[in-house]
Amino acid sequence: MRYQFAKSAGNYNVSDLSATFLIENNLSFEVGLSREANKKIAWVGFDQFGIRLECVAIVFIDSLYVIHLKPINPWEEIDEIKKRLW
């Protein structure tokens, strides 16, 4: 699967490499649909450096378009994270 990154995905200075590690090593869950009616999926987990991240991507036929990527509190409950992801 190919990854593309929106400019906004870099707002928190998390590298594309960390995002790729997160995506490839954690389970995803669905968080809704994009304006184009494509699935949006999210991941919550740790990157290769032990930093806990949340990531949201839009699913296209041949790629994932990462639109949100940021570090989060390591102690935050997964249910609280899921509530705030759109």
What pLDDT score does 19 carry? Answer: 96
62: which DSSP letter?
S
Sign for the CA dihedral angle at 15, 16, 20, 23 comes to positive
What would the two tokens of residue 31 be?
A: 């968080």
72: which DSSP letter?
-
21 phi/psi in degrees, rounded to 5: -60, -45
What pLDDT score does 84 carry? Answer: 83
Would you say residue 37 has pLDDT above 70? yes
Over residues 38-62, the pLDDT tens digits come to 999 999 999 999 999 999 999 999 9
What pLDDT score does 86 carry? Answer: 66
Provide mean pLDDT across the span 55-71: 96
Least Cα distance to 3 among 59, 49, 70 occurs for: 59
| Summary mean pLDDT of the chain | 93
